[in-house]
């Protein structure tokens, strides 16, 4: 005999009447309309009320942040550094240059104790600074990082430097083998003429072997795209004697180095002009172009994946994970396209897929030919 039968027996009433009198059925969800009946509301939770109202109202497609292009004069004179900066973060460039909006960068809170180990970002900053000093021809000793406070003090800093050296040594060895003791060429600035624009270039890091770049980063969409644009600039340079092969040395897996090689391009001006047109379009509206996500999408399509599989991969990279934050962490992309991001499907109205393929397919073809 359960509790309800016992109560029915005490009151000398049928079990069905006891159930109607004492049993209260509650909905499974806290945002059920049952809890918010106007006559006798049983809940006053504002967030659950908002959820109920959202369910009862017809779903609307979220409005785009910038549904129409803004009037922005076309720049005739463009600096190569400006073009490179734009393709590092196209959406941020639109906010900053066209709207005059800048979001404050996130700052790590000050710690109460002196750190004895580096964060991932701090480790990358020290490693990249060490490689930059090697490219400049003045290698920076570890003591300089210790004295400047970029490394923890005493034995902790020495231990951090020893770990960094395990990643730095393969990169430095690749650089020395590729550079072979040669000095960078002194190339005078030049201007590339296009139908509607002029692009000013002041190239650096060009050696008799070609363009050489060294980075502590692993190969991702951003550094690959910047390297590709720099390569096109060298291929388009008026100095016919330049070696038009380019090399990017970056970190590989498990403390190794990889060297990416790009061959000379037969039509660099045409490819650069397409990028310049996208640059101007990106001054008039935010481009749905999270660079790392777009690279992953284009690479997936290029290697034979279906558009659905590529879109699924793009969404995962957009969202990221605790160990590797996605592009949605960018405040400019988040403001322009929301938490769900741009439309990653290859639909007619979506231009993420077309932009990703337009920008990265020539690079992927060049890498396949190298």
Instruction: Pick the closest to residue 292 from 352, 366, 231 (CA basis).
Output: 352
Q: What is the pLDDT of residues 191-235, one digit of tens each?
A: 999 988 899 999 999 999 999 999 999 999 999 999 999 999 999
Is 313 in the same domain as 238?
no
Q: What is the pLDDT of residue 168?
A: 93
Is 97 in the same domain as 170?
yes
Both tokens assigned to 182 = 């040669």
Compute CA distances 67 → 62, 64, 336, 337, 363, whole Å: 11, 5, 10, 11, 30
- Distance (Å, whole) CA 85 – CA 76: 17
User: In this structure, are residues 353 and 300 in contact, taking their beta carbons and an 8 Å threshold?
Assistant: no
Residue 77 gets which letter from DSSP? E
Is 347 in the same domain as 201?
no
Task: Assess if residue 21 is contained within a domain.
Answer: yes
CATH code of the domain covering residue 200: 3.90.320
User: In this structure, are residues 208 and 185 in contact, taking their beta carbons and an 8 Å threshold?
Assistant: yes
- Distance (Å, whole) CA 168 – CA 249: 11
Is 89 in the same domain as 232?
yes
- Distance (Å, whole) CA 24 – CA 152: 63
Percentages of the chain per state (helix, strand, coil), in multiples of 5: 50, 10, 40
Is 157 in the same domain as 274?
yes
Is 265 in the same domain as 304?
no
Is 242 in the same domain as 93?
yes
Is 175 in the same domain as 232?
yes
Residue 97 gets which letter from DSSP? I
Q: What is the pLDDT of residue 110?
A: 61
- Distance (Å, whole) CA 283 – CA 149: 40
User: Helices 221-236 and 80-88 sit at what angle, rounded to 10 degrees?
Assistant: 160
Compute CA distances 204 → 8, 81, 88, 94, 168, whole Å: 91, 11, 18, 27, 22
Is 196 in the same domain as 264?
yes
Q: What is the pLDDT of residue 198?
A: 93
Task: Assess if residue 286 is contained within a domain.
Answer: no
Instruction: Pick the closest to residue 168 from 132, 114, 211, 116 (CA basis).
Output: 132
Q: What is the pLDDT of residue 28?
A: 64
Q: What is the pLDDT of residues 278-305, one digit of tens each?
A: 999 999 999 999 999 999 999 999 999 9
How many helices (H) and strands (E) in the chain? 14, 9
Is 81 in the same domain as 207?
yes
Task: Assess if residue 326 is contained within a domain.
Answer: no
Total structural domains within the chain? 3
User: In this structure, are residues 182 and 254 in contact, taking their beta carbons and an 8 Å threshold?
Assistant: no
Is 136 in the same domain as 211?
yes
Task: Assess if residue 331 is contained within a domain.
Answer: no
| Dihedral-angle region of residue 96 (phi above 0 means left; psi in -120 to 50 means alpha; beta otherwise) | alpha
A 10 A CB-CB count for 298 gives: 23
> CA torsion angle for 51, 56, 61, 63 (degrees, to 10)?
-60
- What global pTM score does this model have? 0.80
Task: Assess if residue 107 is contained within a domain.
Answer: no
How are beta strands 257-262 and 246-251 bridged, if at all? antiparallel
Burial of 62 (0-12, 13-18, 19+ CB in 10 A): exposed
Task: Assess if residue 328 is contained within a domain.
Answer: no
What is the extent of the structural domain holding 314? 293-320+340-363
Is 265 in the same domain as 307?
no
Walk along the chain (370 residues) and give the pLDDT tens digit of each residue: 578 787 777 888 887 887 887 777 766 677 677 677 766 666 667 677 676 676 677 666 667 777 788 887 778 899 999 999 999 999 999 999 999 999 887 665 666 666 678 888 888 999 999 999 888 878 888 888 877 788 888 888 889 999 999 999 999 999 999 988 888 999 999 999 998 889 999 999 999 999 999 999 999 999 999 999 999 999 999 987 899 999 999 999 888 999 999 999 999 999 999 999 999 999 999 999 999 999 999 999 999 999 999 999 999 999 988 778 889 889 999 999 988 888 888 665 558 999 999 999 999 999 988 7
Q: What is the pLDDT of residue 351?
A: 87
Task: Assess if residue 54 is contained within a domain.
Answer: no
């Amino acid at each position: 005999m359960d509790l309800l039968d016992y109560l029915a027996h005490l009151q000398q009433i049928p079990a069905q009447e006891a159930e109607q009198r004492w049993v209260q059925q509650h909905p499974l969800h806290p945002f059920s309309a049952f809890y918010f009946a106007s006559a006798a509301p049983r809940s006053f939770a504002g967030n659950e009320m908002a959820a109920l109202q959202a369910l009862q109202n017809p779903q609307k497609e979220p409005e785009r942040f910038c549904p129409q292009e803004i009037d922005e004069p076309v720049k005739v004179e463009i600096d190569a550094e400006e073009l490179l900066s734009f393709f590092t973060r196209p959406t941020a460039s639109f906010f900053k240059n066209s709207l005059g909006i800048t979001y404050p960068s996130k700052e790590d809170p000050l710690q109460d104790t002196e750190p004895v180990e580096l964060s991932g970002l701090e480790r990358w900053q020290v490693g990249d600074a060490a490689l930059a000093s090697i490219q400049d021809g003045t290698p920076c000793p570890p003591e300089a990082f210790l004295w400047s406070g970029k490394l923890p003090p005493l034995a902790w800093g020495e231990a951090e430097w020893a770990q960094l050296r395990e990643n730095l040594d393969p990169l430095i060895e690749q650089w020395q083998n590729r550079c072979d003791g040669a000095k960078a060429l002194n190339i005078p600035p030049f201007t590339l003429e296009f139908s509607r624009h002029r692009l000013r270039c002041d190239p650096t890091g060009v050696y008799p072997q070609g363009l050489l770049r060294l980075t502590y980063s692993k190969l991702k969409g951003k550094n690959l795209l910047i390297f590709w644009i720099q390569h096109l600039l060298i291929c388009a340079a008026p100095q016919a004697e330049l070696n038009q092969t380019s090399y990017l040395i970056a970190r590989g897996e498990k403390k190794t180095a990889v060297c990416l090689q790009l061959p000379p391009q037969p039509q660099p001006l045409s490819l650069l002009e397409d990028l310049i047109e996208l640059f101007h379009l990106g001054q008039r509206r935010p481009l749905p172009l999270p660079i790392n996500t777009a690279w992953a999408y284009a690479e997936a399509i290029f290697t034979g994946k279906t558009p659905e599989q590529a879109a699924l991969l793009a969404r995962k990279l957009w969202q990221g994970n605790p160990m590797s934050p996605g592009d949605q962490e960018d405040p400019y992309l988040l403001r322009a396209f929301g938490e769900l991001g741009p439309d990653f499907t290859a639909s007619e109205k979506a231009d993420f897929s077309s932009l990703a393929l337009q920008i990265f397919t020539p690079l992927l073809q060049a890498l396949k030919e190298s």
